[in-house]
Chain A
Amino acid sequence: MAAMVQRLRASVITTPTASLINLVGLAIVAVALVATAQRVYQGGATYFFQTLGFGLAQGAIFALVALGYTMVYGIIELINFAHGDVFTLGAFVSLALMPVFGLNEGRISGAALILPLLGLFVVTMLICALVNVGIERVAYRPLRHAPRLAPLITAIGMSALLEGVMNVWRGPFNLHYPDFLPSTQIPIGGGVTIAAKAVMVIVVAVVLMVSLTLFVNRSKLGKAMRATAQDRDAAQLMGIDINRTISATFFIGAALAGAAGIIYGLYYNSVQAFDGFQYGLYAFTAAVFGGIGNIPGAALGGILIGVIYSISDGYFTVSWTQVLVFAILIFVLVFRPTGLLGMRVPEK
């Protein structure tokens, strides 16, 4: 309760200039919303739900990747540039593992898919997680007491390394990813439908995110993570194994990114070695949008960015969408630096 009051008090900025700035920000948001609403109204319901379904599915993938960024940033304040490439690695690894699980396009469908896909998810997530833990061990841990920018450079180096490995492995081509998800439309009343594919993506993502939240909130390791994020030295004094906790954070973040990679492949049916970098930047934007270090914030930010992305693609011009996403990023940071759900932490 006290925390909530503090959060509310902190979110209300009281100086006159700040309130003027906030007013300007709100006015811009209002104008944008009105313009969008008008276009949506003209476009009709069918088109809107199609766009929304696409946006939610894309947003769910952004959210899964954003969680890894936000957790790593929350615990060691590092923008883990390699995270986006771990996500692509998930798609590549799962593509290579498919024959092992008997997942051949056209030969298998329906309920027979569930078990092999589950196995594929588990193995891919495990591989990605181990790769990310290895990256942390090799490239970030030795630099924990180095100047702050040193791990950022190794993160960029690791990102290039992963992209390079995937490039050597499969070449710089758009690879076909098998299409296993049904292409049916689910009616939601009034003659309006939503793609089953999108629903499945969203359901899987929500299950993963809920389990992550439960894990961080309820488990002992989750508690250790929160403690380490808050004050590493104090956590260590309380008997928490810092290295193990940080490794666990990288493990979980990468497992989610690996899952996101599979979902991305199944949803778009195409993957390329360099996809992850740009995608990672969007996911990172989502994490900042929600409030970096905040797990529900990253989920919310991811979904919002996904929906904004698809609405901009669907109702405005495609070529300005990316500009819009990054403009929102700057906008959020100028008007609400802690993101949508982030708490204002006093400067120490």
Chain B
Amino acid sequence: MTTVRNFVRSNVRNPNAIAYFLMAVGALFFPAVVQFATGGSGDYLVGLAADGGIYMLMAIGLNVVVGFAGLLDLGYAAFFAIGSYTYALVASNHLGVTPIGHSLHVPFWIALFIGMFVAATAGALLGAPTLRLRGDYLAIVTLGFGEIVPRVFRNAGIWTGGVPGISALDVPTLPGWVQGPWIGQDFGWVPDFRFTSANLTAYYMLMIILIAFVVILVHNLYNSRLGRAWMAVREDETAAAASGVNTVSVKLLAFSIGAATSGFAGAFYGAKLSYVSSENFGFIVSVTVLAMVVLGGMGNIPGAMLGAIVLYFILFWLLPNAPGQMQGLASSLGLDWLNQSNPNGWPGIGEVVSRSKYVIFGLILVGIMLLRPQGLLPSQIRKQELTHEEPEALAAPRQLQA
């Protein structure tokens, strides 16, 4: 009892511990609360939260690259795409229609790690020649890579299904599953359980487990020798190298571990959607994940997770629902004429709100950054390090020549 009390006492003022605790409690009770609040029809929301978990996984992975090692990656969605397509190839009938002529159906639990491994390899292959570049040049290389990968998948014809992509991917299966009132049934044991869109709570629970797994992994890495090497490289690469840190391999590891997490998320994404298409991996995905990390607090795992929750909620719940809400508000105020489009170019209030979602998104990004440039939940260690102004040695070489 005393140990518990001491643990609580020592952590009650630690924002990270509070954030972890609140997120864990929130994650566990979310499905039940949603089902209760919506009267049992909240499956859609639970599925949405599971999709949000994909972004959260990516934010945790990108946090390793950007937050821990200080490498700016603007093409992170490329590894997400690689993970998804790898899953699509090894767990569907698609390889049967390619020149290989033999389809693979690797079980989800193994394919998840294949996707992760392939993405990590791609990260290492991209990183090996480019990680010697400093600062923003690396960002530009990754930006280019992020633009190339989805286009290659789109253009690769028969191998990747071209523009329509690959559909009918295998769903995860388990030897058994517990069903209960959260899907509107009595408690019971379901043998040979298949994850389907009829039971999104299962996907949600799987996502929670995956996130917990990755968080523990990344947290341990952060506190390891490697994590300290990452920080050293981030703060001063030259000094780190002089102190015996192998900067190339340390950066390569950060890059590959980030890519692996993204590939992991990608494989889950493919399985849940049961469909992959090159349209879903554009620059906007990389930017969104980066914004999540920076918004939440770079270099802090719960910060990145919090950023993912906030931004995902805004982007995928608040903004898509705003037009409908606005229309409802207009009718309830007796202003129905606002909902009608007229020939003077007024497209109706719903359409206006729908079009202005980019305005709102932009204002939110700028507003949060101006109010809290260090993020919502900044890293305590980083804060101590950066109380002084950023030293000149960290800046990339400047030039303006004419």
Contact = CB atoms under 8 A, between A and B. Distances in A.
A345 B402 contact: no
A148 B365 contact: no
A164 B359 contact: yes
Q: Which one of B66, B390, B396, B401 has the greatest number of beta carbons of chain A within 10 Å? A: B401
B129 interface: yes
B249 interface: no
Interface in B356-402: 356-366, 369-370, 373-374, 386, 389-390, 392-393, 395-402
A168 B369 contact: no
Contact of A171 (B347, B393, B399): B347
B144 interface: yes
A146 interface: yes
Given A160-B361, A168-B355, A229 B399 contact: yes
A326 interface: yes
B109 interface: no
A220 interface: no
Contact of A157 (B283, B361, B398): B361
A172 interface: yes
Contacts of B283: 277, 281
A71 B363 contact: no
Interface magnitude class on chain B: 35 or more
A157 B364 contact: yes
A162 B365 CA distance: 13
Interface string B133-149: 11011011101110110
Contacts of B347: 171
A6 interface: no
Interface stretch (B27-35, B46-54, B151-159): B151-159
A157 B363 contact: yes
A333 B373 contact: no
Contacts of B397: 345-348
Interface stretch (A57-65, A108-116, A137-145): A137-145
Contacts of B325: none
A322 B147 contact: yes
Given A74-B399, A293-B398, A159 B386 contact: no
A216 interface: yes
A120 interface: no
Contact of A323 (B148, B355, B356, B366): B148
A329 interface: yes
Contacts of A329: 140-141, 143-144
Interface stretch (B37-45, B192-200, B287-295): B287-295
Contact of B355 (A171, A217, A330): A171
B238 interface: yes
B232 to A, nearest CB: 17
A333 B363 contact: no
B339 to A, nearest CB: 17
B398 A77 contact: yes
Interface in A263-309: 277, 281, 284-285, 288, 293-297
Contacts of B392: 348
Contacts of A171: 347, 355
Contacts of A139: 366, 369-370
Contacts of B141: 329-330, 333-334
Interface string A226-268: 1011110000000000000000000000000000000000000
Contacts of B167: none
A32 interface: no
Contact of A343 (B136, B238, B361, B401): B401
A286 to B, nearest CB: 12
A167 B362 CA distance: 13
B209 interface: no
B355 A326 contact: no
B381 to A, nearest CB: 13
Nearest to A328: B144
A222 B294 contact: no
A333 B402 contact: no
Contacts of A160: 358-359, 361-362, 365
Interface in B70-87: 72
B136 A79 contact: yes
B83 to A, nearest CB: 20
Interface string B183-226: 00000000000000000000000000000000000000000000
Interface in B93-115: none
B352 interface: yes
A322 B144 CA distance: 10
Contact of B402 (A150, A152, A295, A322): A295
20 contacts: A77-B396, A79-B136, A79-B140, A139-B370, A150-B369, A161-B359, A171-B347, A171-B355, A225-B400, A226-B401, A229-B399, A229-B400, A231-B398, A293-B399, A294-B400, A295-B400, A319-B155, A330-B145, A333-B137, A348-B392
Ranked 3 nearest A-B pairs via Cβ: A161-B362, A164-B358, A157-B365
Interface of B: 66, 72, 129-130, 133-134, 136-137, 139-141, 143-145, 147-148, 151-152, 154-155, 238, 283, 287, 290-291, 294-295, 298, 347, 352, 355-366, 369-370, 373-374, 386, 389-390, 392-393, 395-402
Given A216-B400, A326-B144, A330-B141, 14 more contacts: A147-B298, A152-B290, A157-B366, A161-B359, A167-B358, A168-B356, A217-B402, A228-B400, A229-B398, A288-B140, A323-B148, A327-B144, A343-B399, A345-B397
